[in-house]
Amino acid sequence: MSDLIQLRGLRVRGHHGVFDFERRDGQDFVIDVDLELDLAKAATTDDVSDTVHYGELAESLAEVIAGEPVNLIETLADRLIAVCLVDDRVAAATVTVHKPQAPISHEFADVAVTLRRTR
């Protein structure tokens, strides 16, 4: 499958983490998503109902991030990828969860977990 819908840099505040202060204070999480699906029909019909609506996808992902806290970004990524695979037209999805304010005592550029799932 070579067709992709990509959503990059979705930033949502969540309360995930293993430390009490992470759950209490929250922090921003940044999400990148790749959806692999056949976009030929949407390209031909020019109808949004023939594709995955990326605005609605972003809202659904944001609800998960802002929702019930989890300890690990691995768990958060798993919940997010489940949202991406709700639409049966999606053959595969890749989700990366970035935690730019992770509690690390050294300077760092990024902490991220990436999951890929196929049907």
State the Cα–Cα distance between residues 51 and 90, nearest whole angstrom.
9
Q: How far is CA 26 from CA 15, 18, 30, in A?
A: 4, 12, 13
Tell which phi-psi region holds residue 83, choosing left (phi > 0), alpha (psi between -120 and 50) or beta. Answer: alpha
Contact 16, 74 (CB under 8 A): no
CA angle (58 as vertex; 97, 92 as ends), nearest 5: 65
Active-site annotation holder among 45, 60, 99, 102: 99
99 is catalytic: yes
Catalytic residue positions, numbered: 99
